[in-house]
Amino acid sequence: MDTCSIPANTSKCSRNTMECFMVLSTQAQKISIGLLCGLFGTMCVFENSLVLYLIFSSPTIRKKPSYLFIGSLALADILASIIFVCSFVNFHVFNEAGFSKEVFLLQLGGVNTSFSASLSSLLLTALDRYISISRPSEYKLLMTRKRAWTALGVLWVTCATIACLPLLGWNCCVLDSSCSELFPFVDDNYLSGWLCLIGVLLGCIVYAYAHVLWRAHQHVAYMEKHQAQLGKQNTRMRMDVMLAKTLVMVLAVLVLCWSPVLVLMTYSIFTRLSKHLRRVFAFCSTLCLLNSMVNPIIYGLRSRELLCSLRRVLSHCRRQLKAAEESPEAESTHRSSGIET
């Protein structure tokens, strides 16, 4: 493992031990973090896997670019949950630091890739809704499945490349530069650049959704005025407005869950953090899992198409169970058990 001294203005901790980054000092804190990660992580993987299944098991839903982007968001949340929980619990709860710099940066890169892809998927979804509401007559020509898959491919490759820059050499060990107090081996300049990127993505999403909400408000007013004359166009408008509101809820939850983490990251660049603040950062990090867990619940409660797909799946399961209970083998087993009794 690499050994190099950390500059005095960033941390007194040696890079090759990383004990100073293990800020949970009591067993109660470790148990709390472990339970939160276990609960949120398990629910997140289950719920987002269900969303992916509902999307790609329905020929109608999976053809729509909007749901391809939502599927990308669900996949990113699944990967983030698995990688985050395994690495975070292993490091903070079990205090496992016997791995190399490369392994740690690879794990951090996986978490960063997943979160960046999640946020970028929200941006693509915002742009999709923006085009759908601002240019409805050209929507199907502008937003095709081929373009949607191309955009998702570019998104994931870009996010993975940016997240792996510390592993490829942009870290304070190689550059002998100022190190982050929150992440071992991470260069402060890289952290600043990553935060700027996240800020730009959030700004673009907020701008797109502000326009979507404004147009949605216009549509609601128009529908109330011409309720009887709209027909199919009325239904399409209602679906656009519903999906726009759903995605705004997703964005609001994302901002609420990630704001504490992003604020502390930004604060750490300009000043030294106390151990108490670094412990607060560790607990706030679990809010990321809460965000990933809440997203599919919002889809299920707000998306009529996903709800219909879920009802079809549950109905199919009930029919399968009923058929299994009424099968000849089940009846013969029931009769034989009755005779034995």
Cβ-based neighbour number of residue 75 at 10 Å? 20
For residue 230, the domain's CATH number is 1.20.1070.10
CA separation (Å) from 20 to 15, 145, 179, 182, 260?
Answer: 9, 49, 13, 10, 21
* pLDDT, tens digit (0-9, with 9 covering 90-100), for 245-273: 776 777 788 788 888 989 999 998 888 88
Strands (E), 82-192: none
Please give the structure tokens belonging to residue 170. Answer: 């942009």
pLDDT band at 237 (very low <50, low <70, confident <90, very high): low
* pLDDT, tens digit (0-9, with 9 covering 90-100), for 286-338: 888 888 888 888 876 677 788 888 888 888 888 888 877 776 554 555 455 44
In the prediction, which pLDDT does 10 show?
Answer: 42
The interaxial angle of helices 275-302 and 304-325, nearest 10 deg, is 80
For range 233-243, the mean pLDDT: 58
Q: 75 lies in a domain?
A: yes
**What's the domain count of the chain?**
1
Q: 10 lies in a domain?
A: no
Q: 197 lies in a domain?
A: yes
Amino acid at 106: L
In the prediction, which pLDDT does 288 show?
Answer: 84
For range 280-284, the mean pLDDT: 88
* pLDDT, tens digit (0-9, with 9 covering 90-100), for 30-78: 888 888 888 988 999 999 999 999 888 888 888 888 889 989 999 999 9
Residue 230 pLDDT exceeds 90: no
Q: What is the largest CA-CA distance in the chain?
A: 82
H-assigned helices in 226-303 = 232-270, 275-302
Q: 198 lies in a domain?
A: yes
For the entire predicted model, the pTM comes to 0.81
Q: Is 267 exposed, middle or buried (0-12, 13-18, 19+ CB in 10 A)?
A: middle
Q: 182 lies in a domain?
A: yes
In the prediction, which pLDDT does 159 show?
Answer: 93
Q: Provide the percentage of residues in the chain whose pLDDT is more than 90.
A: 17
Q: 217 lies in a domain?
A: yes
Q: What is the mean pLDDT of the chain?
A: 80
In the prediction, which pLDDT does 72 show?
Answer: 92
In the prediction, which pLDDT does 3 show?
Answer: 38
In the prediction, which pLDDT does 33 show?
Answer: 86
- The answer to whether the CB of 197 falls within 8 A of the CB of 131 is no
Q: 119 lies in a domain?
A: yes
In the prediction, which pLDDT does 227 show?
Answer: 60
pLDDT band at 235 (very low <50, low <70, confident <90, very high): low
Going by C-beta distance under 8 Å and a sequence separation of 6 or more, which residues neighbour residue 23?
Answer: 92, 275, 278, 279, 282
Q: 165 lies in a domain?
A: yes
- Angle (nearest 5°) at CA 261 between 255 and 263: 85
For range 199-220, the mean pLDDT: 79
For range 106-114, the mean pLDDT: 90
In the prediction, which pLDDT does 317 show?
Answer: 84
Please give the structure tokens belonging to residue 291. Answer: 């965000």
Domain of residue 111: give its range. Answer: 24-313
